[in-house]
């Protein structure tokens, strides 16, 4: 059974238990009812401020965390604890920090080879080595460096190692959790281009989690905006930029510093008041209402759900 | 530099700073010169390891133990502060020139209240009594937009959010009304919406208090937004300087051009990025010629062996790249043939 979508996330919930005192427990709602779907070969950008739950979404899809509720379908199959090991051959992850996500005591060859070992994807040592060298070439690493350790590489090269490791099992879907935010501007472009080339070559789909809106807009086909555990808007990348609907998206876009002095001189920033509320003490109703200019009584009573405003542009807001 | 020192509040001439490590001398800053007028916002942009933060720390003389200014002078209102004694420097920091650091999470002292930390600077530099200092601290917190300042000054840093802590840092830096504020990546650790709040606040304060700001950052967006003039650094030296328009619309150093090509185009976001090839240079092993030449697509033979001199492109715009010399010579030649 296969559907139009490669990955479907339905009403995903991830609550973390937090102890608030002796014998007292409450839950932190990191992800609270998130739904989206990704087509084969598509890139969905996921943006939001720190603490909004975007990383948790990525990790929960891969069952690095046990979801509290909701379900994830991969190619029409429900992801469960019993089939996740097998499904990790199809779904992989690239982590944010290229320094802490590679084992310092393993050579590059072993780092990239580990997924091959786990899933037993070779029959002879020679085949394993050949696969590893092909992967290194694919991500633009010098094959002569296979015996080196991760610390001998620069940040950009380490991120390439992480990507080669993710590609080792020939996945159809990769979750990229802030893969370029730890890199310098000039190196970012190298890695972003590589993601695009690999997608063209191998047809993988990406969930691209990042907070840099310019990069996300560049790489994504569609973008989802998260605020405090919920998706507030999803639309095509250009549509979202040209015609944002949710007040949070509007202020987020207006706050992005644009590297063009003429544009910045002309535009008006919409400065949001206050900070993101703590997910421990969330406002009732719409989570954004405490910072929203349009907030009404209805926003305090009920939380708006995502509604289609035409052409797949989904917005969760009562007033817009 | 011009002999008229009163025009500039800060002049940095041929600054060299090195770190002496076990693996050798790391030349972090190599002959940096610039000047700053009162009330001006200057941006220093570059990638990690380009020497932008070390330049800022050298001015404040807060380098790590292994670091030393080995050559050059830093003139504040005509006085060379590199020759200042420790005591004189303590008087300079905070009162004449303040710094805000990148990470508001770690640069506040966790065991003192915020009020305590702001009052420390006030008590040190002015003759105010404790009561007056407390009043001033509350006033400063109000100025930077911290709500309920009278309650906040009794709180500890862990009780505040990142944006609030950065506001406290700014309040602390501005408490003695310095002439110069150095902001070392002030918004890198913050979210975009909070970043916008802080940048707006800094612009407002700069207008109302009239101090000069040196903005150290790697974010070209922040630079475009804030700065009157910009310095681009690579490998410890300045490779290009000019107004925001000079740098963004007619970049004249191959590194600046590459940097601008490697960020997504605002008007055409799907256009393919053109990265700068290679990796940043190793400061332990600096090339003889231009620092950028190993990554430059247009590198010539001369770039390998000779450091390019800074060449004036317009009144405000200067760049150190042999390509400009080559272009100039070709123009001259073409002109000569015509004549």
pLDDT at B336: 65
Note whether A268 contacts B: Cβ–Cβ < 8 A: no
Inter-chain contact A49–B264, Cβ cutoff 8 Å?
Answer: no
Give per-residue pLDDT as tens, A103-145. 999 999 999 999 999 999 999 999 999 999 999 999 988 888 8
**What mean pLDDT is reported for chain B?**
89
Task: Give all strands (DSSP E) within A2-119, no chain letters.
Answer: 7-21, 24-38, 43-47, 69-74, 77-78, 91-94
Mean of pLDDT values over A51-69: 91
Q: Do B193 and A255 touch (CB under 8 A)?
A: yes
Closest CA of chain B from A306, distance in Å? 23
Task: Answer with the residue of higher pLDDT: A167 or A266.
Answer: A167
Structure token pair of residue B34 = 């610039």
Cβ(A209)–Cβ(A292) below 8 Å: no
Q: Is the pLDDT of residue B339 over 70?
A: no
Q: Which one of A215, A217, A271 has the shortest CB-CB distance to B197? A: A271
CA A61/CA A59 separation, integer angstroms = 5
CA of A5 to nearest chain B CA: how many angstroms apart? 23
Interface touch A257/B273, C-beta < 8 Å = no
Instruction: Mark B312-322 as b/e (b = at least 16 C-beta within 10 Å).
Output: ebeeebbbbbb
- Nearest CB among A193, A217, A269 relative to B200 is that of A269
Interval A292-306 mean pLDDT:
89
Q: Which of B161, B193, B280 sits opposite A251 (nearest CB)?
A: B193
Instruction: Indicate whether B338 pLDDT > 80.
Output: no
Q: Is the separation of the CB atoms in B45 and B223 below 8 Å?
A: yes
Per residue in A244-257, pLDDT (tens digit) is 999 999 999 988 88
Of B219, B224, B261, the CB nearest to A264: B224
B164 pLDDT band, cuts 50/70/90, is confident
CA-wise closest residue to B170 among B162, B181, B180, B161: B181
- Nearest residue in chain B measured CA to CA from A265: B225
Which pLDDT belongs to residue A1? 45
Confidence band of B42 (pLDDT split at 50, 70, 90)? very high
A211 reaches B (C-beta below 8 A): yes
* For residue A98, pLDDT beyond 80: yes
- Which of A188, A193, A259 is facing B272, going by the closest CB pair? A193
pLDDT in tens, B123-161: 999 899 999 999 999 999 988 888 889 899 999 998 888
Record: contact A256-B192, CB cut-off 8 A:
yes
A77 has pLDDT over 70: yes
- Least confident window among A126-140, A220-234, A306-320: A306-320
Residue B180 confidence (pLDDT) above 50: yes
Chain B residues closer than 8 Å to A192 by CB: 273, 275
Reply yes or no on whether the pLDDT at A61 is more than 50: yes
Strand order in the sheet with B79-80: B24-36, B10-21, B67-76, B79-80
Inter-chain contact A259–B220, Cβ cutoff 8 Å? yes
The structure tokens 């300042």 sit at B149
Which member of A49, A154, A184 has the closest CB to residue B191?
A49
Architecture of domain A7-90+171-315: 3-Layer(aba) Sandwich (3.40)
- Is 90 exceeded by the pLDDT of residue A92? yes
CA distance B199 to chain A (A): 10
Task: Quote the radius of gyration of chain B (alpha carbons, Å).
Answer: 22
CA distance B216 to B195: 15
- Using DSSP, state whether A44 is helix, strand or coil: strand
Mean pLDDT of B243-257: 94
Q: How far is CA B184 from CA A100, A132, A254, in A?
A: 25, 42, 23
Average pLDDT over residues B246-250: 94
Q: Do B193 and A272 touch (CB under 8 A)?
A: yes
Helices B130-143, B162-174: axis angle to 10 degrees equals 130
Long-range contacts of A242-250 (CB under 8 A, 24+ apart): A243/A313, A245/A309, A245/A313, A245/A315, A245/A317, A245/A320, A246/A288, A246/A315, A246/A316, A246/A317, A246/A320, A247/A288, A247/A292, A247/A293, A247/A294, A247/A317, A247/A319, A247/A320, A248/A288, A248/A291, A248/A292, A249/A225
Q: Which of B160, B168, B189, B192 to mutate to test the interface with A (most CBs of A within 10 A)?
A: B192
Residue A265 pLDDT: 84
- What does chain A come to in residues? 320
Q: What average pLDDT does range B329-337 have in this prediction?
A: 79
Q: Quick one: average pLDDT of A217-233?
A: 94
Question: Which residues of B fall below an 8 Å CB-CB distance to A?
Answer: 47-48, 161, 163-164, 191-197, 199-200, 218-225, 244-245, 248-249, 258-264, 266, 269-270, 272-277, 279-280
Query: What is the reported pLDDT for B6?
Result: 65
Q: How large is the average pLDDT for residues A176-193?
A: 88
With CA atoms as reference, the chain B residue closest to A266 would be: B225
Contacts of residue A140, defined as CB under 8 A and 6 or more positions apart, other chains included, come to A160, A190, A194
Selected residues 38-77 of chain A with any CB under 8 Å from a CB in chain B: 49-50
Residue with tokens 């590893």: A132
Chain A / chain B CB contacts < 8 angstroms:
125
Please state the separation of Cα B32 from the chain's center in Å: 12
Cα of B5 vs its chain's centroid, Å:
21
- So what's the pLDDT on residue B147? 84
Chain B residue with the nearest C-alpha to that of A197: B272
Mean pLDDT of A161-170: 93
What pLDDT score does B1 carry? 43
Q: Round the average pLDDT of chain A to a whole number and report it.
A: 90
Question: For residue range B272-316, what is the model confidence (pLDDT) as tens digits?
Answer: 899 888 888 888 888 888 999 888 988 898 999 988 989 999 999
- pLDDT of A278-293, one tens digit each? 777 888 889 898 888 8
Mean pLDDT of B214-221: 92
For B102-128, what is the mean pLDDT? 89
């Amino acid at each position: 059974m296969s559907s139009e979508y490669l990955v479907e996330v339905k009403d995903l919930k991830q609550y973390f238990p937090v102890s608030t005192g002796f014998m007292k427990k409450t839950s932190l709602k990191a992800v609270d009812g998130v739904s989206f779907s990704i087509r084969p070969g598509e890139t969905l950008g996921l943006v939001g401020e720190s603490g909004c739950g975007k990383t948790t979404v990525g990790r929960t899809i891969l069952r690095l965390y046990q979801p509290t509720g909701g379900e994830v379908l991969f190619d029409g199959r429900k992801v469960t604890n019993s089939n996740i090991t097998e499904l990790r051959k199809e779904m992989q992850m690239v982590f944010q920090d290229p320094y802490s996500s590679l084992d310092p005591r393993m050579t590059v060859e072993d780092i990239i080879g580990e997924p091959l070992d786990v899933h037993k994807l070779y029959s002879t040592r020679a085949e394993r080595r050949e696969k590893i060298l092909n992967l290194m070439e694919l991500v633009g690493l010098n094959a002569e460096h296979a015996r080196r350790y991760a610390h001998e590489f620069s940040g950009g090269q380490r991120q390439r190692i992480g990507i080669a490791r993710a590609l080792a099992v020939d996945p159809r879907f990769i979750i990229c959790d802030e893969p370029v935010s730890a890199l310098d501007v000039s190196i970012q472009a190298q890695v972003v281009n590589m993601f695009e080339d690999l997608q063209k070559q191998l047809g993988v789909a990406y969930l691209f989690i990042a907070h840099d809106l310019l990069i996300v807009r560049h790489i994504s086909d569609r973008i989802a905006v998260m605020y405090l555990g919920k998706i507030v808007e999803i639309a095509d990348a250009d549509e979202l930029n040209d015609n944002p609907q949710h007040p949070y998206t509007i202020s987020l876009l207006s706050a992005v510093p644009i590297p063009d002095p003429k544009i910045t001189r002309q535009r008006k920033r919409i400065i949001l008041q206050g900070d993101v509320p703590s997910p421990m003490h969330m406002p009732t109703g719409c989570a954004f209402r405490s910072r929203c200019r349009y907030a009404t009584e209805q926003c305090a009573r009920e939380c708006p759900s995502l509604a289609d405003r035409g052409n797949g542009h989904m917005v969760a807001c009562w007033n817009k | 530099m011009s002999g008229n020192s009163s025009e500039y509040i800060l002049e940095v001439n041929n600054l060299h700073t090195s770190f002496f490590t076990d693996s050798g001398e790391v030349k972090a800053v190599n002959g940096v010169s610039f000047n700053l007028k009162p009330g001006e916002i200057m941006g220093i942009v570059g990638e990690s390891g380009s020497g932008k933060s070390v330049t800022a720390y050298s001015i404040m003389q807060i380098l790590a133990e292994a670091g030393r200014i080995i050559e050059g002078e830093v003139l504040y209102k005509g006085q060379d502060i590199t020759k200042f004694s420790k005591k004189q420097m303590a008087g300079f920091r905070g009162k004449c020139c303040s710094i805000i650091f990148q990470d508001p999470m770690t640069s506040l002292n966790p065991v003192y209240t915020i009020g305590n930390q702001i009052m420390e600077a006030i008590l040190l530099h002015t003759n105010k009594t404790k009561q007056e200092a407390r009043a001033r601290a509350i006033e400063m917190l109000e100025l930077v937009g911290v709500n309920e300042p009278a309650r906040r000054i009794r709180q500890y840093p862990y009780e505040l959010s990142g944006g609030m802590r950065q506001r406290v840092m700014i309040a602390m830096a501005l408490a003695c009304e310095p002439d110069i504020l150095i902001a070392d990546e002030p918004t890198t650790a913050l979210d975009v919406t909070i970043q916008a709040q802080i940048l707006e606040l800094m612009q407002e304060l700069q207008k109302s208090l009239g101090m000069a700001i040196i903005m150290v950052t790697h974010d070209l967006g922040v630079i475009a937004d804030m700065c009157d003039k910009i310095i681009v650094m690579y490998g410890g030296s300045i490779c290009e300087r000019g107004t925001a328009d000079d740098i963004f619309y007619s970049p004249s150093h191959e590194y600046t051009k590459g940097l601008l090509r490697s960020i997504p185009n605002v008007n055409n976001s799907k256009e393919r990025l053109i990265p700068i090839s290679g990796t940043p240079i190793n400061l332990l092993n600096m090339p003889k010629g231009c620092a950028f030449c190993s990554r430059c697509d247009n590198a010539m033979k001369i770039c390998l062996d000779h450091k390019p001199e800074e060449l004036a492109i317009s009144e405000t715009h200067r760049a150190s790249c042999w390509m400009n010399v080559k272009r100039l010579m070709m123009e001259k030649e073409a002109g000569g043939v015509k004549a």
